[in-house]
Amino acid sequence: MTLKLTMTAIALASVSLPAMAQENWDMPLAYSASNYHSENAAEFAACVTDGTGGAISITTHPGGSLFGGSDIKRAIQTGQVPIGERLLSAHANEDAVFAYDNVPFLATSFDDAEALAEIARPTIEQVLAEQNLTLLYSVPWPPQGLYFKKEVNAVADMEGVKFRSYNSTTARLAELTGMLPVTIEAAEISQAFATGVAESMVSSGATGYDRKVWESLSHFYEVNAWLPRNSIMVNSEVWADVSDENKAIITGCADAAAAAGLEKAIAYTQFTMDGLAAGGMNVGPASDTLVEELKGIGETMAAEWLETAGEEGAAIIEAFNAAN
Ligand code: PCA
């Protein structure tokens, strides 16, 4: 009797299966599983999987395990994966406007970073659309500060230091401060610092904490230079095939993830700075001299960005300044 019932259930299930299209979406992430961006993406994935009743089931792959950070955007564009997360500013070589969130000292608080992202969003969406990508949501990193393995009180102290960069803006910062940039993904930095390939970086307390950089570095200077963002994008052809009903569910999950991600970023800021200090690092504000010098360099970088980002870039900055 039981067997018969089970067999009937199997028969029914197999009859009804073809009618219910089920898709599995692999979602590559570049950062460690314990980082709040990755945790947030996992919650987003669960929201979509539950919300669509399993019709679209998303599986996250953190830590660069499916694709490394530098390959994720192309993988989504070309349909190797339907969805993924990427630090868009690392693609400023494709369109300078992608680095709007790396203009030094433009937006230095979470509130300002959100306002700037809101203003830039239509432009970013348009550029992404031309690349077969649809933006779902973006989440900020905490404010960017400077890491060293020695005390640094002025730009002169940075001369010749090997500097880990994560995009062209950070590489340019290294050049303008006399350092030697080498591009390394976050997933690889613990090793880079341990082996001496790099001995400095600009990043958040979050990334230093995630990668336990106190094992190699000694100082974190709060600079609040900018708050770069991770963007979650879906392949536009895949998106076009999603039913209107599921699109609404995914967009709802994306809006919730944007809000939750922001809250997580804010909470993670102090938590990770405390964690760096607990690991033995000197954590504190940069000296007045260093801040002044960095602001001068920041002006140069902002002017350079405006030159390459053209009218679209200028319009974003003007709208932001007008609102602030
Ligand atoms: N962490 C990322 C990007 C910005 C940040 O805070 C990184 O260092 O790669």
Q: Specify the residue for token string 């102090």.
A: 270
Is 313 a domain residue? yes
Report which DSSP code applies to 32: -
Evaluate if residue 71 carries a pLDDT over 80: yes
Quote the mean pLDDT of the chain. Answer: 95
Check if 228 has its Cβ closer than 6 Å to any atom of ligand 1.
yes
Phi, psi at residue 231, to the nearest 5°?
-115, 135
The Cβ of residue 130 has, within 10 Å, a number of other Cβ atoms equal to 9
Residue 305: pLDDT band (50, 70, 90) is very high
36 and 14 in a single domain? The answer is: yes
Task: Report the residue among 87, 201, 227, 268 best suited for mutation to probe ligand 1: largest number of ligand atoms under 8 A from its CB.
Answer: 87
198 and 236 in a single domain? The answer is: no
Structural domain span for residue 188:
145-225+281-323
Per residue in 160-174, pLDDT (tens digit) is: 999 999 999 999 999
Which atom of ligand 1 approaches the CA of 207 most closely? 1
92 and 220 in a single domain? The answer is: no
Is 122 a domain residue? yes
Check if 166 has its Cβ closer than 6 Å to any atom of ligand 1.
yes
Is 73 a domain residue? yes
Q: Which of 278, 281, 267, 288 is nearest to 223 (CA)?
A: 288
Per residue in 248-304, pLDDT (tens digit) is: 999 999 999 999 999 999 999 999 999 999 999 999 999 999 999 999 999 999 999
Q: Specify the residue for token string 């987003």.
A: 44
197 and 318 in a single domain? The answer is: yes
- The CA-CA-CA angle for residues 164, 168, 170, to 5°, reads 45
70 and 166 in a single domain? The answer is: no
How high is the pLDDT of residue 220? 98
Separation of 315 CA from ligand 1 center, angstroms? 26
Do the beta carbons of residue 231 and residue 138 sit within 8 Å? yes
pTM: 0.93
Side chain identity at 212, as an amino acid letter? K
Counted domains in the chain: 2
Which atom of ligand 1 approaches the CA of 30 most closely? 9
Q: What is the CATH number of the domain that holds 31?
A: 3.40.190.170
